Amino acid sequence: MWATPLMKLDLSFVGLALFLGLIILVLFEIIRINSYRGRTPPGPRPLPFVGSLPHLIKNPMELVRSMSQYGELSTLYLGRKPMITLNTIQVIKEALVQEAFSGRPAMPLIEWIGLTNGTGIIMVTFGHAWRQQRRFALHTLRNFGLRKKSVEDRVLEESRYLISEMLKAEGKSMNPQHALQNAVSNIICSIVFGDRFNYDDKRFSYLLKILNENFMLAGAAVGEFFNLVPFIKHFPGPHQKLKQNTNELVGFIRDEVKEHKETLDPDSPRDFIDAYLLEIEKQKSNEDTFHEESLVMSATDLFLAGSNTTATTIRWGLIFLIQNPDVQDRCHEEIVRVLGYDRLPCMDDRDKLPYTYATVHEIQRCANIVPMGVVHETIRPTKLRGYDISQGTMILTNLSAIFSNKEHWKHPDSFNPENFLDENGHFSKPQCFIPFSMGPRVCLGETLARTELFLYITSLLQQIHFSWPPDPQPLDMDGIMGAVRIPQPFNIICRSRDTKE
C-alpha cells in the first residue's frame, strides 16, 4: 500500500534533482563564459552551451556584418569554444603573416566524412607534412598548368566550349550553374587527372551535383550542429548524405589513381597524379609524408577547391552585370575596341582593358564568397593587440568588413568598378583586397583562379549579352551560406553579341 506514494516521492525527488542539476550546470556555464569574456575581445553575448550558433544559423550575414562594431578584434562562440574575429586589414596583416596563426582546427565533421586524416592540403594543420604537401602541389601545378601560357591555353580552349554551351539556349531562360561549374572544373581536372569532361557527361554532372550538395550542407546548420554534437553521426539525418556524397567523390579520385597506376609512364608524366605517383616511388624512405592515401587526399582537395569557388564567383558576377547593364555594355565596348570579336583575350591584355579588369575584381569584392575567410587556428600561445591568445584558438578574418570599409573604398556599398580605378582610369588594386588571404596559408590556387576569372569573364562579355528573363524572381543578395556563400538559384537569357540588335 506504500509503493505508489513512495514511487511518486522518488520520481519527484529525481525530477527535482535533475532540475537543480541543470540549473547548477547552466550557472557554471554562465560563470565560465563570463570568465572567458573577461579575457577575450568583445562580441555578442553567447548563449550557454551553443554560443553564437543560433544567430549564425538564423542570419549568418547579419551576424558577420555586426562583428566590426565591437572593434578591430571581436569574439564569436562556436558552441562553447571562442573564435577570434579579425575585423581590420591592419590586424589581419599583423596576424596572418605569423606562423603562430597558421594552423587549422580539427573539425569533427571533416574528420568523420573522411576529408582529412592528417593528410592533404586545405584542412591539415601547420607543420612539416603540410609544408611538404603544399610545396610539392605548388611545384607540380606550375609544371602542369600554372605556367602562364599553359594555363591560358587551357582556359581559352575551355571558354570556347563554355560560350557554345551557353548559346545553345540562346534567347531562352536557362540556369548557368552547370555550364559554369563544368567549365571551371575542367581546368583543374585537366591538371590533376589529365583530361576534361564534356558538359553532357552524366557521371561528371552527377559528381558536380553532389559536390554542390556537400558545399551547402557542410557550412549550413547541419554542419555546424554536427561539429557541436558529433555523436549524431550514429543517427539518421542530412549529415549521412554528406558522408555518402564524400564517399562517392573520394571513390572517383581513387578510381583515377588506380587507372593512373596501371598506365603510368615514368618517362612521361601526364598530370598531378602521375607526378605524385613518381614522387612516392622517389621518396620511399619518406613514407610518412608521401603515400597513396596522401595522394588521394591532396587530389581531392585540389578537385574540391578548383571546382566550386571560381564558378561561384562568376555566377555572382552574372548577377551584378545584369543588375548593372551600363557596366556590362561598357566592358563589352572596351573589349571589342581592343580585341574585336574574333580574338579571345589573353592575360597580357589586362593593361589594355583596365575597366574590364577592374570589373573582374569588383565582382570578387562584392561576391565575397567566404565572408569570414577560411578558418585558422593558433598553433601555440601568442599575443595580438594586447590580448593573450591560447593555443588552439580559432581565428576568422572578417572579409566582409574589409571589403566594405568606407576608409578604403570609394563606393563601399555598391557594385562599381571605379573602386579599382585611379583618377586617370588606370587599374589600381587597394592593399586591403585580399580575397585569397595572405601569409603561409595564402590560397594555393590563387594564380589559377585569377587567370580563370579574367579570361572567362572577359570572353563571356566579349561574345554574349546577359539579361533577366521576363518576370525574374527577386534574389536575396545575402545569398545562401554553405562552405562558401552562393547565390540563390537564378535563370538568365544569353544572346550572341554579333546577332543582338
pTM: 0.91
Residue 14, domain member (yes or no) = no
Q: Which residues of the chain have pLDDT under 50?
A: 1-2, 6, 148, 499-501
Distance (Å, whole) CA 303 – CA 318: 24
209-225 burial, b for 16+ CB within 10 Å, e for fewer? ebbbbbbbbbbbbbbbb
Distance (Å, whole) CA 321 – CA 359: 9
Residue 451, domain member (yes or no) = yes
Residue 1 confidence (pLDDT):
47
DSSP 3-state of 301? helix
Distance (Å, whole) CA 477 – CA 457: 20
Angle formed by the axes of helices 177-192 and 202-219, nearest 10°: 100
Residue 22, domain member (yes or no) = no
Distance (Å, whole) CA 5 – CA 11: 10
Residue 307 confidence (pLDDT):
86
Residue 61, domain member (yes or no) = yes
Residue 4 confidence (pLDDT):
57
Structural domain count of the chain: 1
The tens digit of pLDDT for each residue in 190-200 reads: 999 988 999 99
DSSP 3-state of 231? helix
Sequential DSSP letters for 438-450: -GGGS-TTHHHHH
Q: Which CATH number do you get for residue 63?
A: 1.10.630.10
Domain region containing 71: 41-496
Residue 102, domain member (yes or no) = yes
Residue 468 confidence (pLDDT):
96
Distance (Å, whole) CA 320 – CA 18: 55
Distance (Å, whole) CA 429 – CA 432: 8
Angle formed by the axes of helices 354-367 and 292-323, nearest 10°: 110
Residue 317, domain member (yes or no) = yes
DSSP 3-state of 479? coil
Distance (Å, whole) CA 441 – CA 35: 31
Task: Indicate the Cα dihedral angle 472, 463, 178, 213, nearest 10°.
Answer: -70
Sequential DSSP letters for 151-200: HHHHHHHHHHHHHHHHHTTTTSEE--HHHHHHHHHHHHHHHHTS----TT
Report whether 218 contacts 108 (CB < 8 A).
Answer: no
Residue 215, domain member (yes or no) = yes
Residue 6, domain member (yes or no) = no
Element (H, E) at 341: none
Strand 73-78's sheet: what is its strand order? 73-78, 81-86, 394-397, 376-377
Report whether 455 contacts 114 (CB < 8 A).
Answer: no
